[in-house]
Amino acid sequence: MKTQRELRFDGETYDATQDFKRLKSQLSRVFCALASEGKWWTLAELAHVAGGSEAGVSARLRDLRKQRFGAHSIERKRHEDGSGLWVYRLADTEVL
């Protein structure tokens, strides 16, 4: 990520002892996938490569947009197939 930051997850049901390691690892895998190829990803594709659910990957995308996780620019657009599916990519590829 842009700079080394103290990762601070939160939420009503967040329990650091049970969730921190898993969320940190998933966040890293989502970021690495986005940063490594510069391509557009569906949530299903990211969930497959990062491990976890589409809902979890969606939450990590929201985390990556937050200041404390690097304030990354995550672009989104509708998939070109007209299905209404959204695709995502990391816009700030200069972090590589």
Domains of the chain: 19-95 (1.10.10.10)
Per-residue pLDDT of 46-74, as tens digits, reads 999 999 999 999 999 999 999 999 999 99
Strand partners, 75: 89
Residue 91 has pLDDT above 80, yes or no: yes
Is the pLDDT confidence value at 31 over 80? Answer: yes
- Of 83, 23, 7, the C-alpha closest to 59 is 23
What local confidence, expressed as pLDDT, does residue 53 receive? 96
